[in-house]
């Protein structure tokens, strides 16, 4: 099969299998299908709005982030094939089935909760847009089913209050250990003149892109300036 035709079929297949969520549809799915804590859902919707604009096929080639939650390929997924922290190929996070995305996100959240005490810090947009009162992001979605509250440090997500080991998901799958050293790519090899490869961070200076988010009740769209540099 000619290369151009193969690439065309790949992009067509990716487009067909992708999905752009409605804000409230996603909030309902996180609550009723994936059993996210009610207190977390406004923050998750905020993060997703600023990271991917609800698009499951979103990919940031600058930072190597994939899917609805913009999961990073530096530690969590491997292009191509299985590997890294979530033992999943990155392409699996860019289709319309977010089950594997959610499993990986819960793993990331647990790891960052262990490291920093707040799992949301894995996403750079959290401190910029989503750490305070995020109730506007689920406005009119639940008809007052979820209280309009902001997350406090004392609130622990439901899946952190568990007897299961940190590296085990809800189905008993044990995740592999996080990769050490950082993934070796041409972009982060900086010098081998002495025969020894040295590594630096993939991104040392954040790069920014702008996008527009519509918030219910707002008089005008919110212009966001997002960094493509995430923690993991």
d(CA 228, CA 209): 8
Look up 51 and say whether it is catalytic.
Answer: yes
Q: Phi and psi of 90, rounded to 5°? A: -60, -35
Positions of E strands within the chain: 59-60, 65-66, 71-72, 189-191, 198-199, 208-213, 222-227
Look up 229 and say whether it is catalytic.
Answer: no
d(CA 128, CA 115): 20
- Cβ-count burial 191-224 (b if 16+ within 10 Å, e if not): eeeeeeeeeeebbeeeeeeeeebeeeeeeeeeeb
Q: Which of 29, 40, 51, 101 is catalytic?
A: 51
d(CA 87, CA 175): 7
Helices and strands in the chain: count of H runs, count of E runs:
5, 7
Beta carbons within 10 angstroms of residue 25's beta carbon: 12
What is the total residue count of the chain? 232
Tell me which residue of 202, 61, 41 sits closest to 137, measured CA to CA: 41
Q: Which of 40, 65, 169, 230 is catalytic?
A: 65
| Residues with a known catalytic role | 51, 65
């Amino acid at each position: 099969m000619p290369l151009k035709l193969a690439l065309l079929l790949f992009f067509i297949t990716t487009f067909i299998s992708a999905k752009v969520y409605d804000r409230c549809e996603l909030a309902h799915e996180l609550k009723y299908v994936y059993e996210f804590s009610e207190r977390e859902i406004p923050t998750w919707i905020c993060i997703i709005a600023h990271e991917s604009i609800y698009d499951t096929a979103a990919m940031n080639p600058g930072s190597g982030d994939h899917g609805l939650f913009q999961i990073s390929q530096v530690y969590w997924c491997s292009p191509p094939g299985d590997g890294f922290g979530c033992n999943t190929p990155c392409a699996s996070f860019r289709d319309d089935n977010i089950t594997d995305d959610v499993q990986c996100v819960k793993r990331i959240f647990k790891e960052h909760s262990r490291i920093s005490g707040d799992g949301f810090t894995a996403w750079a947009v959290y401190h910029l847009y989503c750490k305070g009162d995020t109730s506007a992001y689920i406005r009119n979605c639940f008809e007052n089913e979820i209280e309009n509250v902001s997350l406090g440090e004392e609130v622990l997500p439901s899946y952190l209050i568990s007897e299961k080991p940190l590296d085990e998901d809800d189905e008993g799958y044990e995740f592999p250990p996080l990769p050490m050293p950082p993934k070796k790519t041409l972009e982060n090899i900086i010098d081998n003149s002495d025969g020894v490869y040295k590594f630096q961070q993939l991104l040392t200076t954040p790069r920014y892109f702008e996008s527009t988010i519509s918030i219910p009740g707002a008089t005008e769209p919110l212009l966001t300036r997002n960094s493509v540099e995430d923690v993991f």
